[in-house]
Chains A and B, each alone.
Chain A
Amino acid sequence: MQLFDDNSVFTRNVGLMATDLDSESIVLHVKSGKIFGMAETGKRIWDLLSEPLTFAVLTQKLVAEYDIDPEACANDVSDYLTELVKAGVVDVSTPQPAGQEN
């Protein structure tokens, strides 16, 4: 099941420690002790998420930088973000459409 859509906002989770080591980003989930290494495009996604971004903006940036097919990019990034969300590395929130706020 798709956890998010184009308007979903991704942010780095709190409770992480991260550093750049050699050409990778190393991210430690402090509570679980799990360690993640991010290289190449994964690292670039992590770097871009230093500020909250919607899925649409994130994929647009990657398509422009890597000159790749938008649909393939969206599929790959969707899979990767799903992994990061499940691992607790990234949070996702989906704003309610206008008129549906409480």
Chain B
Amino acid sequence: MGYCARRHSRVQNRLKGHTNFRVYKFGGLNVRSEFELSLADPVAAKHGFAIDVEIHLCALDELSLGEPVDISKSNDFFFYVSDNLAFRIQNGQSISIGCTTQTSNSDINLYLIGSAWGVLCHQRCLLPLHCSAVTNGGLAIAFCGPSGMGKSTLAAGLTQRGFAHLCDDVAMLELVGDQVQFTPVEKGLKLWRDATDTLQIPRGPRVGTEPDLDKYYVDMPDSQAKATYGLGVIYILSQSTNSEITITPLSGIEKFRIFLENIYRYEWATQIRDSQELISQVFQLLDHIEIYQFSRPKNMMKFAEGLDMLAAHMKSRGKN
């Protein structure tokens, strides 16, 4: 049995038959993938259709194993998730998924369109922003902040006030002329159990297999994730030290620092990319981005009041 046939049969056995290559438009790129991207729709690859990214499956021991995160070569980046899953990302063009019979599809999906995709974007000198987003008046409105600050819950809450959902977790930023273009990465909205209860949204499949990750995909029927938008405003979520809800503009060094903090996998970006090129890109983008700090109490008591205030602010910015 030849190498390809052996790999094919192993992968087929391991991944329950997900062995056919399909072509997708994902995160603004044309992707040919052996692993089914359940959140993206396959597209027909016509003659002359240029593939930007190839995604392959292989046995874990077929990947070149290095340190848990091997960044010795920026264009050949390896990272290890568990004893059953690792990724190798090369030249911004290919992602190899190393897995075993124990690997779940949900775990592959979670890290493939998360960290692995983030590395690929940095290798391609694209700037991924860690955010959730909705759209207002044809512009993307992004919400950033530390994990657990409520980005996804806030975006989901705004959909119940008439804003269409754009993305959960990551979007690509690119300066085109004088406007920052915002391309959502389709990852599906994930909410903690208590957030689905608060918003009364039905829970879908559980996100991963880790016992502490009590998070669920939820359906956003009016999602507008498949297009590119101009970026309107970024809101940085933070916790207020009192019971007040405030929205304040950020500028200068504060704006710069907080933007860096919210670049997806920034700690890896500084290793993968030329730092001067990266910072130049950030300088150029920030000239065209408005950032506000949205500060509110952590508890959900004032959640609805915060949503009202934010919605009114977003609408006022959308009039510009």
Contacts and interface: CB of A to CB of B under 8 A. Distances in A.
Q: Do A and B come from one complex?
A: yes
Interface of A: 17, 19, 21-24, 26, 28, 30, 33, 35-37, 39
Contact of A30 (B254, B256, B275): B275
Nearest to B257: A35
Given A26-B252, A35-B257, A37-B252, A17 B287 contact: no
Contacts of A24: 251-253
Interface in B215-251: 251
Nearest to B256: A26
Contacts of B275: 30, 33
A24 B251 CA distance: 8
B255 A21 contact: yes
Nearest to B260: A35
B71 interface: no
B251 A23 contact: yes
B252 A21 contact: yes
A19 B255 CA distance: 13
Interface string B253-291: 111110000000000001000011001100100110000
7 contacts: A17-B280, A21-B255, A22-B255, A26-B283, A30-B275, A36-B253, A39-B252
Interface of B: 251-257, 270, 275-276, 279-280, 283, 286-287
Contacts, number: 41
5 tightest Cβ-Cβ pairs between the two chains A and B:
A37-B253, A24-B252, A22-B251, A19-B283, A22-B252
Contacts of B255: 21-22
A23 B283 contact: no
Nearest to B250: A22
A88 to B, nearest CB: 16
Contacts of A23: 251-252
A17 B283 contact: yes
Contacts of A37: 252-254, 256
Contacts of B256: 21, 26, 35, 37
A21 B280 contact: no
B10 to A, nearest CB: 44
A87 to B, nearest CB: 14
Nearest to B283: A19
A21 B283 contact: yes
Contacts of B257: 35
B96 to A, nearest CB: 31
A33 B279 CA distance: 11
Contacts of A39: 252
A76 to B, nearest CB: 20
Q: Could you say which of B253, B257, B270 has the most chain A C-beta atoms within 10 Å of its C-beta?
A: B253
Given A22-B252, A28-B279, A30-B276, 19 more contacts: A17-B276, A17-B279, A17-B283, A21-B252, A21-B255, A21-B256, A22-B251, A24-B251, A24-B253, A26-B252, A26-B256, A26-B283, A33-B270, A33-B275, A35-B253, A35-B256, A35-B257, A37-B252, A37-B254
Most buried by A among B252, B257, B286: B252
A9 B256 CA distance: 30
Contacts of B270: 33
A33 B270 CA distance: 10
Contacts of A33: 270, 275
Given A26-B256, A35-B256, A21 B251 contact: yes
A45 to B, nearest CB: 16
B282 to A, nearest CB: 9
Contacts of B283: 17, 19, 21, 26
